[in-house]
């Protein structure tokens, strides 16, 4: 089995090979599946990462959720701790790039939303398997954030078909998802 590091490199290479047309087509397919998903329809509060580079696009989904009046929160990275907090947003266009190039809102303490409040959480990753295993980006931030026992968010991941492997290496502390939606 490949190491997590090799899987991350392979997946980044495959995503970078996507043409804009392919990416747009696959993103739209995933978006349509999500907005028709009953868990999404029923969710009042959503935690969602803001996609960047060649990740599955979440921008359109964020706008859709905001237009429906759902509570939407996105991660803001706390560098010194290698963790993040969830900040509620009302407008995707007000987000600014952090030092990693990821869009995020200003860190305002009064907009922090506790992880226990989310009905649905979108979990990023570089690769997944059919046993709900996930390979993240290597920092462990999502593993740590969702490790608390009193968090009952439905964990949904979005991926392109080539990001689904037979099996990914999983450690005891690695976060598992509840469901995966692909193009």
Query: What tokens appear for 18 in the block?
Result: 């996507």
Has 11 been labeled as part of a binding site? no
Has 176 been labeled as part of a binding site? no
Has 136 been labeled as part of a binding site? yes
Query: What tokens appear for 163 in the block?
Result: 């990001």
Residue owning tokens 């706390």: 78
Has 142 been labeled as part of a binding site? yes
Has 56 been labeled as part of a binding site? no
Has 116 been labeled as part of a binding site? no
Has 135 been labeled as part of a binding site? yes
Has 140 been labeled as part of a binding site? yes
Has 1 been labeled as part of a binding site? no
Has 101 been labeled as part of a binding site? no
Has 70 been labeled as part of a binding site? no
Has 69 been labeled as part of a binding site? no
Has 15 been labeled as part of a binding site? no
On whether the CB atoms of residues 147 and 179 are closer than 8 A, the answer is no
H-helix segments, 46-155: 59-67, 141-145
Has 82 been labeled as part of a binding site? no
Has 6 been labeled as part of a binding site? yes
Angle at 45 between CA 60 and CA 177, to 5 degrees: 80
Has 109 been labeled as part of a binding site? no
Q: CA 17, CA 7: separation in Å to the nearest integer?
A: 15
Annotated binding site: 4-8, 50, 55, 134-142
Residue positions forming the annotated binding site for ATP? 4-8, 134-142
């Amino acid at each position: 089995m490949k190491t997590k590091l090799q899987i991350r490199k392979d997946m980044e290479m495959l995503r970078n090979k996507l043409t804009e047309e392919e990416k747009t087509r696959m993103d739209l397919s995933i978006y349509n599946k999500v907005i028709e998903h009953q868990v999404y329809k029923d969710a009042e509060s959503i935690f969602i990462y803001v996609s960047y580079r060649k990740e599955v696009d979440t921008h359109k989904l964020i706008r859709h959720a905001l237009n429906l009046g759902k509570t939407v929160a996105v991660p803001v990275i706390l560098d010194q701790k290698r963790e993040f907090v969830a900040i509620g947003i009302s407008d995707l266009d007000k987000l600014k790039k952090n030092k990693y190039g990821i869009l995020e809102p200003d860190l305002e303490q009064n907009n922090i939303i506790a992880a226990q409040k989310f009905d649905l959480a979108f979990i990023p990753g570089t690769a997944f398997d059919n046993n709900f295993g996930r390979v993240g980006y290597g920092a462990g931030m999502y593993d740590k954030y969702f490790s608390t026992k009193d968090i009952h968010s439905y964990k949904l991941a979005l991926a392109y078909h080539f990001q689904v492997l037979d099996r990914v290496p999983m450690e005891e502390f690695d976060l598992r998802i509840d469901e995966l939606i692909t193009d």
